[in-house]
Structure formats: C-alpha cells, structure tokens
A = this chain, B = another copy of it.
Amino acid sequence: MKTPNSIHIIADFSGCPAELLELRQQGEEILRLTIEKSGLSCVMIRSHQFEPSGYTAAALLTESHITLHTWPEHAAVQIDIFTCGSHDRARAAFSELKSLFRPLKVAEKILFRRLDSLSET
C-alpha cells in the first residue's frame, strides 16, 4: 500500500491588480483556467462573495483542492494548492496563478505531507 506524498503549496500574493480580487465570478474563472492549463482534474468549484468586495473561491479536485481568499483592500490573495497527485501539476497550477494574479510580492512555502510527517523544501 503506497503512502501518499502530497504536495501543499501555500502562498500569499500581494500587489495584485485590485480588479481581479473583487468578484467571485473572477475567482471561479481563474480556478477554471488554472485547473485546465495545469492538467488537474476538477470535481466542483464553489465561491462566496464578500461585501463590499472580495471573495473566497474553492475547487475540489480528484487530487485534493485549490482555494483562493482575496483581500482587495490589501491588493492580496491567499492561495493553497494541495494535491496528492502529480507535483508537477501542482507547480504548474502555482505558475498559472502567478501569471493570472500578477503579484508584485509572493510569500510562499511548500510542504510535503506523507500522513505521518510534514516536511518542507
């Protein structure tokens, strides 16, 4: 029985264009594009609109999940890409999100989750 070696990319982007962070439909579209381009497999995308602006958008994948939480007032978005599948696809999704959100600054951490241990790059 193979033990999973999941990759979890945790990243907070700041200095993003505010117009990408406001409406939940933008988050859903960004998730759709990211999943398509990276070859991940989507089960469902759901989102929640905050007032006056900002959203949470989440994709459940057959390989785990991607979530976005935006902070338009800080030009920021908090991202998680967690997959028990291909690490290359997770990294491709991360590149795609960087290219779509165009952050000026990225705070990131990569964890490897093997059920009995959590280690970093």
Contact = CB atoms under 8 A, between A and B. Distances in A.
A-side binding surface: helix, strand, loop or mixed? strand
Interface residues of A, number: 40
A76 to B, nearest CB: 5
Task: Tell me the number of copies of this protein.
Answer: 2
A60 B46 CA distance: 9
B8 A113 contact: no
Contacts of A1: 73-74
13 contacts: A4-B74, A12-B114, A43-B48, A44-B46, A44-B48, A64-B67, A65-B67, A65-B69, A67-B67, A67-B82, A74-B115, A80-B80, A107-B118
Interface of A: 1, 3-4, 6, 8, 10, 12, 14, 43-44, 46, 48, 50, 56, 58, 60, 62, 64-65, 67, 69, 71, 73-74, 76, 78, 80, 82, 84, 105, 107-109, 111, 113-118
